Amino acid sequence: MNFVQKLRGEFVDIIEWVDDSRHTLVWRFPRYHNQIKNGAQLIVRPGQAAVFVHEGKVADRFEPGTHVLKTSNLPILSTLKGWKHEFDSPFKAEIYFVTTRQITELKWGTPNPVILRDPDFGPVRLRAFGAYTLRAKDPVALLNELVGTDSEFDAEEIGILLRSVINTTFADLIAASGICVVDLASNYGDLSQRLREQVMAKVDDEYGLEIPQLYIVNISVPEELEAAIDSRSSIGMIGDLDAYRSYQLGRSIPVAAENPAGALGAAGVGIGMGMAYAQGLPGGAGPAPGTHAPPAIATAWYYAEGNKPVGPFGESDIAQLVAAGKLSGATLVWSYGMDNWTPASLVPAMNRALGSGPPPIPGSPGA
């Protein structure tokens, strides 16, 4: 290599960034000790911006296009270096390329449940996740506030901060929304827009970043609440609950009569179901004047099988379980409103299904 070739190798005459990454926000041109040649070409591709930094001070900014570097298009740098006329010698400066296109495939989610006070179900724990896009709106503010002297700055480096801002803002938004749990899905669009606007207000001016799109993909509730919502939906679809109960009791009588296990208990259950069915028929016996019909069994019951809850079951299902020998007075049962699991024999609403008779009369020999 002769002297002229060596001298040319020390000068930079083409400055560009072929961005083959997907999440890089800022990239510094690797000039090392080379000096930028007078009249060098600066190539800024679509979705990029180039910023010159001289001795720690942000100088000129270039938008997409091909630029020939000279005094006329480097006014700030010319002032910093004291160029009064067209410069004719190489110079040193740091050049940062900033991605101004949208960076996609960024995700957010609540690491811990968010508490919502629902008007129907009371305090409810919610989890949410979604996606967002990121773009550098002000490259100069981004360089000053976040990049510093880094040679490369990735979107993930600010992702933790942005996800924290989104999660905090989502918790405040959902708590103040007043939307009940069953209506959250129909409000995803409005909640997403409001969430984006509130997050933008916190990161726009300070970091020079923009979030063009932010979406709530899903808001989930605990499995227990999902079961309660499903039970309520099922009741709503049934419509006339009394007619449905009579129909289910009518279907249960043959099943109980054919069950060979627990003959005495099955007989009691069959009698109890027959009386309940007869009371529901037109012209049936019904309750005696001045008395009240026994309360109906709750529509959502669970029973313990080993260490696992099984359910929910309605009145007709419990009658069939008793007839099949899967549910007895010693079986632990639970329904919404009960504090603890309780043997079925101690639950008044279960007595009719279990075929339990009345307690001994005080003063009688068996009392």
Asked whether residue 367 is domain-assigned, the answer is no
- Asked if 298 and 352 count as a contact pair (C-beta separation under 8 A), the reply is no
Shared domain check, 198 and 129: yes
Shared domain check, 280 and 307: yes
Asked whether residue 366 is domain-assigned, the answer is no
Shared domain check, 109 and 85: no
Determine the pLDDT at residue 365: 65
**Polymer length in residues for the chain:** 367
d(CA 27, CA 281): 81
Determine the pLDDT at residue 366: 56
Determine the pLDDT at residue 213: 93
Best CA proximity match to 42, nearest among 19, 63, 71, 21: 63
Shared domain check, 187 and 167: yes
Complete DSSP assignment for 279-298: HHSTT---SPTT--PPPPPP
Structure tokens at 175: 């708590």
Complete DSSP assignment for 235-274: HHHH--HHHHHHHHHHHHHHHHHH--SSHHHHHHHHHHHH
Asked whether residue 292 is domain-assigned, the answer is no
Asked whether residue 142 is domain-assigned, the answer is yes
Where among 99, 118, 153 does a domain terminate? 99
Shared domain check, 246 and 202: no
Determine the pLDDT at residue 85: 65
Asked whether residue 324 is domain-assigned, the answer is yes
Determine the pLDDT at residue 237: 54
Shared domain check, 178 and 138: yes
Shared domain check, 136 and 188: yes
State how far Cα 54 lies from the chain centre.
Answer: 45
Shared domain check, 59 and 11: yes
Asked whether residue 363 is domain-assigned, the answer is no
Strands (E) located in the chain: 11-15, 24-28, 35-44, 48-54, 57-62, 65-68, 94-99, 103-109, 114-118, 122-136, 152-154, 209-210, 214-220, 301-305, 308-313, 332-335, 342-343
Q: How many separate domains does the chain show?
A: 3
| Cis bond upstream, residue 260 (ω within 30) | no
Consecutive H or E run containing 233: helix 223-238
d(CA 180, CA 174): 10
Where among 49, 67, 99 does a domain terminate? 99
Q: What is the pTM of this model?
A: 0.55
The domain that holds 181 is classified in CATH as 3.30.479.30
State how far Cα 129 lies from the chain centre.
Answer: 3
Residues in a beta bridge with 128: 219
Where among 99, 125, 147 does a domain terminate? 99
Shared domain check, 242 and 217: no
pLDDT per residue rounded down to tens, the chain (367 residues): 443 444 444 567 889 998 777 788 888 888 666 688 878 899 999 989 999 988 888 888 999 999 998 888 888 888 888 777 666 667 888 899 999 889 888 999 998 888 888 877 788 889 999 999 998 888 888 888 787 767 788 888 888 889 999 999 999 998 888 888 888 888 999 999 999 999 988 877 677 888 999 999 998 888 877 777 766 666 555 555 565 566 566 666 665 556 555 444 444 444 454 554 455 444 444 455 554 444 444 457 888 887 888 878 876 677 788 877 788 888 888 887 788 888 888 887 777 777 765 666 776 665 5
Q: Which long-range contacts (CB under 8 A, 24 or more apart) does 318-323 make?
A: 318/350, 318/353, 319/249, 319/252, 319/256, 319/269, 319/273, 319/353, 320/252, 320/255, 320/256, 322/265, 322/269, 322/353, 322/354, 322/355, 323/252, 323/255, 323/256, 323/259, 323/262, 323/266, 323/269, 323/270
Q: Domain span at residue 347?
A: 232-287+297-354
Structure tokens at 73: 């298009």
Shared domain check, 204 and 316: no
CB atoms closer than 10 angstroms to residue 314:
22
Asked whether residue 359 is domain-assigned, the answer is no
Pairing assessment for the beta strands 94-99 and 48-54 based on DSSP bridges: antiparallel
Best CA proximity match to 217, nearest among 114, 124, 128, 104: 128
Shared domain check, 315 and 264: yes
Asked whether residue 212 is domain-assigned, the answer is yes
